[in-house]
């Protein structure tokens, strides 16, 4: 691992709560005491843990209270970095962007593979993926029309805060920015394997690192596309040492349209929530047993969620149990649920839970699974009352 990256994490994040996930799937939560060439040292209630760097997949820091809302507008670069921007402009050779965490910078336009101004919703996800792999000889100016993506091919010459200009057969056309979904640049292949680590910020930026140096309360980052990038020290959310082999379920798109309330006379307001209990506005982490989780999936009984994994993952790992943020009222109703996990229609896991059961560590084989389905079924007389279930640190592993 890059020495500057080690120094950064040790100096900036020392003593902060973190979870280290190892290659064998073990998760250790504690405070970061040290990080060097050989190991990361965590101090937890169970004592001191020393984890060799070559056995570490992910170091994740608890920053729920500091989380910044993402913009759903992203500049993606040839090295795989993704920048959540507030504004972006460009000329043929230079691009300028402004972001909440990274500030204002310019970079060579040739380092950019695509720019997206709107979120990728489920209805258009497949066509958006297709456009990115089409291998067009022209730049693509992409528009959304309902649930369909359409495009104009040409050469993108200029981007302003008003619109995007593209040259088509010698004629320049400018599309108003509010109509533009994305721009895909032609002939810019992504690089891989050259990063010293992937650093994710609280606003959702992902930076593929070349080196970092610490300067008081900020860090100076060097990347393939910029020699000096200053990031506030409190904006580091996680560092991925394993090249993206771990994905959190809460970060994957899913379909919950099959969810149904356990009691038809009392419809459920929220069937799912990502990383915090529904209705809390992100102010509380998930609470399973006595352990708090800043990442995971909250599910009300009756929830049915479907993930398209397309055989990309080998295992699901999570800590399962009732979310106890409202435990004071649970003895009265004695809520019970059954957790069912299926892969391509076959049952992979089933277990009945009561509200006061201890947390259950789950590992499910996903080898060859195209579609993952997770169901939480009402299993008691409460018919949905306080049947709030959670999958803490739910991860799928490539």
Q: Are residues 91 and 157 in the same domain?
A: yes
Q: Are residues 315 and 225 in the same domain?
A: no
Q: Which burial class, exposed, middle or buried, applies to 222 when counting CB atoms under 10 A from its CB (0-12, 13-18, 19+)? A: middle
- Cα–Cα nearest to 391, from 239, 287, 236: 287
Q: Are residues 283 and 378 in the same domain?
A: yes
Asked if residue 321 is part of any domain, the answer here is yes
> For position 67, what pLDDT does the model report?
46
Asked if residue 369 is part of any domain, the answer here is yes
Domain edge (last residue) among 244, 270, 289: 244
What CATH number is associated with residue 33? Answer: 2.30.30.100
Tally of CA atoms within 13 A in the half-sphere of 88 that contains its CB: 26
Asked if residue 199 is part of any domain, the answer here is no
> For position 217, what pLDDT does the model report?
64
Q: How many structural domains compose the chain?
A: 3
Q: Are residues 233 and 256 in the same domain?
A: no
Asked if residue 196 is part of any domain, the answer here is no
> For position 330, what pLDDT does the model report?
95
Asked if residue 200 is part of any domain, the answer here is no
Q: Are residues 113 and 218 in the same domain?
A: no
> For position 384, what pLDDT does the model report?
93
pTM: 0.68
Q: Are residues 239 and 263 in the same domain?
A: no
Asked if residue 201 is part of any domain, the answer here is no
> How far is Cα 330 from Cα 335, in angstroms, rounded to an integer?
7
> How far is Cα 209 from Cα 239, in angstroms, rounded to an integer?
10
Q: Are residues 272 and 240 in the same domain?
A: no
Where in the sequence is the domain holding 320, given as residue range(s)? 248-397
> For position 133, what pLDDT does the model report?
84
> How far is Cα 116 from Cα 201, in angstroms, rounded to an integer?
19
Asked if residue 189 is part of any domain, the answer here is no
Q: Are residues 105 and 32 in the same domain?
A: no
Q: Which burial class, exposed, middle or buried, applies to 265 when counting CB atoms under 10 A from its CB (0-12, 13-18, 19+)? A: exposed
Q: Are residues 347 and 324 in the same domain?
A: yes
> For position 122, what pLDDT does the model report?
79
Chunked mean pLDDT (size 10), the chain, 398 residues = 50 66 82 68 88 81 58 90 94 92 91 94 87 89 93 96 94 95 88 70 87 61 83 79 81 93 91 91 87 92 95 94 95 96 97 96 95 96 94 91
Q: Are residues 256 and 383 in the same domain?
A: yes
Asked if residue 302 is part of any domain, the answer here is yes
> For position 83, what pLDDT does the model report?
94
Give one DSSP letter per residue of 330-373, joined into a string. HHHH--EEEEEEEETTEEEEEEEEETTSPPEEEEEE-TT-SEEE
Q: Are residues 141 and 172 in the same domain?
A: yes
Q: Are residues 258 and 331 in the same domain?
A: yes
């Amino acid at each position: 691992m890059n020495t500057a990256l080690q120094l950064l994490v040790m100096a900036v994040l020392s003593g902060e709560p973190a979870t280290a996930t190892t290659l064998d799937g073990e998760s250790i939560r504690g405070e970061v005491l040290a990080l060097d060439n050989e190991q990361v040292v965590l101090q937890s209630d169970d004592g001191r843990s020393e984890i060799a760097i070559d056995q570490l997949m992910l170091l994740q820091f608890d920053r729920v209270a500091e989380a910044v809302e993402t913009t759903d507008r992203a500049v993606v670069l040839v090295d795989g970095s993704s920048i959540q921007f507030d504004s972006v402009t460009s000329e043929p050779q230079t691009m300028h962007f402004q972001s909440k965490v990274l500030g204002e910078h310019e970079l060579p336009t040739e380092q950019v593979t695509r720019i997206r101004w709107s979120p990728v919703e489920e209805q258009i996800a497949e066509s958006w993926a297709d456009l990115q792999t089409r291998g067009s000889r022209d730049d693509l100016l992409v528009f959304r029309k309902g649930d369909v993506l359409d495009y104009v091919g040409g050469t993108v010459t200029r981007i302003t805060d008003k619109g995007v200009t593209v040259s088509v057969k010698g004629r320049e056309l400018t599309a108003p920015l509010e109509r533009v979904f994305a721009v895909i640049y032609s002939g810019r292949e992504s690089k891989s394997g050259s990063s010293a680590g992937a650093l994710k910020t609280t606003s959702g930026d992902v930076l593929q690192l070349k080196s970092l140096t610490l300067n008081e309360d900020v860090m100076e980052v060097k990347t393939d596309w910029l020699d000096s990038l200053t990031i506030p020290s409190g904006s580091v959310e996680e560092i991925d040492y394993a090249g993206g082999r771990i994905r959190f379920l809460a970060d994957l798109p899913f379909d919950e349209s099959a969810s149904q309330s356990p009691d038809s006379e009392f419809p459920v307001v929220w069937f799912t929530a990502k990383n915090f209990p529904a209705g809390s506005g992100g102010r509380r982490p998930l609470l399973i047993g006595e352990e708090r989780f800043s990442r995971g999936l909250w599910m009300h009984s009756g929830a049915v969620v479907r993930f398209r994994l397309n055989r990309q993952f080998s295992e699901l790992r999570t800590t399962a149990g009732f979310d106890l943020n409202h435990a004071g009222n649970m003895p009265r109703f004695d809520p019970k649920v059954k957790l069912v996990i299926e892969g391509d229609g076959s049952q992979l896991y089933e277990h009945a839970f009561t509200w006061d059961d201890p947390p259950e560590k789950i590992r499910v084989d996903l080898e060859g699974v195209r579609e993952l389905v997770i169901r939480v079924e009402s299993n008691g007389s409460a018919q949905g009352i306080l049947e709030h279930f959670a999958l803490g640190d739910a991860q799928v592993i490539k």
